Structure 1
Amino acid sequence: MSLDTKNGPRFPMGKPVITPAAQDVLDAAGISGVLLLARHIRGDWGDLSVEDLASNELALLTGKRLLSSYALPGGGKVWIITEADRSVTTILLPDDY
């Protein structure tokens, strides 16, 4: 799904937080965490399996945890997880989980 600026957020993200390791990787790659958060809250889940994509769509309806995964230049990935209660959205590396 591409980022469509006409579409607003699909859910409340709560407080945005980022792990130090994820911040370092994004800084090194020249990628803004804010842009990734914008993709996430608009339902652009990034590079997920069909099962995980379906799980997110169901989670929007049932109030469960949401996950996005975005590939980084040169390899690696960063995850964004919004908690089920929508109180916090965290940008992290898979190793941080």
Structure 2
Amino acid sequence: MNQSTRLKPLFHPGRLCITPAAHTALRGHGIPVISVVLQHVCGNWGDVLDDDRRQNDLSVETGLRVLSNYRLSDKSRIWVITEWDRSVTTILLPDEY
């Protein structure tokens, strides 16, 4: 029997933006942009410290900024940031911040 996992979004991402460099990095690794967005809004914060994970969980409940950090296969990173007011979510490289 084939079971699928239902993803439950924790918050609305608002308008989605991605920098050209982040788009190129994801495309180069064969990662669809939507998969990164889904991981982020469903609470998989990626490679973050425990304190940052707890802060993100609290931020979802209280309406603060949320930051995810995903490591790509070449050890580079992609950040996903949703602003406190949930107006916009941006996908970018850390050095673009």
Q: Structures share a fold, TM > 0.5?
A: yes
Write the letter of the residue equivalent to 1:42.
C
Deviation at 1:7, TM superposition (A): 3.4
**Number of aligned positions between the proteins:** 94
Q: Which residue of 2 aligns with 1:18?
A: 18
Write the letter of the residue equivalent to 2:68.
S
DSSP 3-state at the match of 1:45? coil
Gaps of 5+ in 2: none
Q: Taking every aligned residue pair, what percent have the same amino acid on both sides?
A: 46
CA distance in 2, matches of 1:7, 1:26: 21
Q: Which residue of 2 aligns with 1:9?
A: 9
- 1:1-97 maps to which residues of 2 (within 5 A)? 5-97=5-97
CA distance in 1, matches of 2:39, 2:5: 9
CA distance in 2, matches of 1:86, 1:5: 25
Deviation at 1:50, TM superposition (A): 0.5
Deviation at 1:29, TM superposition (A): 1.1
DSSP 3-state at the match of 2:75? coil
DSSP 3-state at the match of 1:79? strand
CA distance in 2, matches of 1:87, 1:5: 27
The list of structure 1 runs, each at least 4 consecutive aligned residues, that deviate by more than 3 angstroms after superposition, is none
TM-score by length of 1: 0.92
CA distance in 1, matches of 2:55, 2:14: 20
CA distance in 2, matches of 1:74, 1:7: 27
